Amino acid sequence: MYNSSMRYFLQGCALFFYKHLVKPILFKIKPDKMHDLMIKFASWAGRNRLFSWFIKYSMTFENEEMLGQKLDNFGGLYFRNPIGLGAGFDKNAVTASPIERIGFSYAAFGSTTGRMCPGNPRPWFHRLPEYKSLMINVGLANEGVDVVAKTVSSANSVSKTLNVGQSIARTNDKIAADDKEGIQDYVYSLQKLNGKTAFIEVNISCPNTFKGEPFTDEKRLDQLLTELDKVNPSQPITLKMPSDKSWEDFKSLLEVAIRHNVQGVTIANLRKDRVGMEIPDDWKGNLSGKPTWDRSNYLVAKTYLEYGDKLTIMGLGGVFTAEDAYQKIKAGADLVSVVTALMFEGPAAVPSIKRGLVKLLKQDGYLNISEARGVEAEKIANKEI
C-alpha cells in the first residue's frame, strides 16, 4: 500500500517535472541533438544499476488481471499490458533495458536495414508542439542488421517482461531501390533475425526514403511476402502499414497479407498530408503524433471489422493519454504503441496511461482489456477521414 502510494506520487511528480522543467529545457536543444542525447542517456541509464533500480521503482504500475492478455494469433505471446514502444525511437536497440523498466510490455526497435544506412541529410527532425507532432526525415539511419541483430538478440535473451521486436526495412540506397535487391535486403534481415526476437515488424511504409514505398503496391507486396515466407521465421510477423491509402487500397494490401505468413498489422506509419497546417515549405519529412490520430483510428476500426479475427492489430498514431489508448482499443487494436508521447510527455506517460486504462475499464464494467477491443469500431469506421 505504502509502495503503491509512493509510486503514484513519484509518477505524478515525474509527469509534472518533465512537463514544466525538463521539457522546456530539452526543447531548447535542437531536436536532432536532443534525440541523440536521449538515446545516449537511456542507454547509459540501462547500464547504471542505481538508476535502473530507480526507474523501475518509480515507474512500476501493473494490473495484469485487467491489462494482461495472451495473443493466440500472434505466436501465443503474452503481453502484461497493451502499451508498447513503436518503431523509430531507438533504431539500434540499445535502450531495451530502460524501456522494459519504464513498463512497456513490448517494443519495436528499428527500423533496421540489410546494410548500414547513414540516413537522409540533416535535419532529421522538426518539432511542431502546436500540433503535438514531429516532422521526421531520418531516412532509416541505422547501423545495419549485422550489428543490430546481435544487440537485439542479447536484449531479447535477458528481458523478462518485454516482448522485444525488431522492425526491418529496405536499405535506403540506390542498390536496394531495385525491387529484386530490395526484396533480398528484407530477406537478409529476416534471416539474420530469425529466432532472435519475440516478433518482427516488416516496415513497408517508410515514406522518407530514396525510392518511396514500392511494397505498398499489391503485386510487389505479394512478391516480397512470397520470399519472406521462404525464410519461415520462428517468430510472428506484423506488417507496418501506410496511413495515407484509401480503404480500398489498404484493404487490398491486407488481402495479400492474410495469404502469407503474416500474423499482425501495425497501423499506421507517418502522415504525409500537411494540408491546413502551417509548416514551412522547406521542411522535409512526414508527420507523427496528433496529425496521424484520426486516420489511424479509422484504419484500425475498418481492419478490425473485416480482419480482426485473423490479424493482431497494433494501433499507433497520436496516443498521448489513457483516453487516447482506450480509444485505439475501442477502435479494434489489441495493442497500442507510442513514440511521440515518450518524447513529449516523458517516461511517466507510460504508467500514467496504464493506470488510466484500468480506471476507464472499471468505469465501463470490463474485467479485462480484451473485452473493450472493437466496441466502438462500427462508429469509428463510419467516419472516413
Ligand X SMILES: Cc1cc2nc3c(=O)[nH]c(=O)nc-3n(C[C@H](O)[C@H](O)[C@H](O)COP(=O)(O)O)c2cc1C
List residues binding ligand X (CB under 6 A). Answer: 86-88, 110-111, 134, 136, 138, 140, 167, 203, 206, 240, 269-270, 288-289, 292, 316-319, 338-341
Pick 114 or 289: Cβ nearer ligand X: 289
| Minimum distance, C-beta of residue 140 to ligand X, in the bound complex (Å) | 6
Pick 76 or 276: Cβ nearer ligand X: 276
Pick 10 or 277: Cβ nearer ligand X: 277
Pick 293 or 307: Cβ nearer ligand X: 293
| Minimum distance, C-beta of residue 272 to ligand X, in the bound complex (Å) | 12
Q: Which residue has the cell 548500414?
A: 116
Could you give the angle at the alpha carbon of 36 between the alpha carbons of 31 and 41, nearest 5°? Answer: 120
DSSP bridge partners of 266: 240, 314
DSSP alpha helices (H): ranges in 293-381?
293-307, 322-331, 340-345, 349-363, 369-372, 377-381
Cα separations (Å) of 12 from 18, 52, 179, 371?
10, 19, 50, 28
Amino acid at 164: V
| Minimum distance, C-beta of residue 39 to ligand X, in the bound complex (Å) | 10
| Minimum distance, C-beta of residue 162 to ligand X, in the bound complex (Å) | 17
Cα separations (Å) of 133 from 31, 138, 147, 287, 296?
12, 15, 30, 6, 14
Separation between Cα atoms, residue 79 and residue 250, nearest integer Å: 27
Pick 67 or 140: Cβ nearer ligand X: 140
| Minimum distance, C-beta of residue 203 to ligand X, in the bound complex (Å) | 4
Grid coordinates representing 373 are: 477491443
CB 263 within 8 Å of CB 238: yes
Separation between Cα atoms, residue 215 and residue 186, nearest integer Å: 11
Pick 6 or 385: Cβ nearer ligand X: 385
Pick 240 or 302: Cβ nearer ligand X: 240
| Minimum distance, C-beta of residue 340 to ligand X, in the bound complex (Å) | 3
| Minimum distance, C-beta of residue 96 to ligand X, in the bound complex (Å) | 16
CB 11 within 8 Å of CB 348: yes
Nearest residue to ligand X by CB is 88
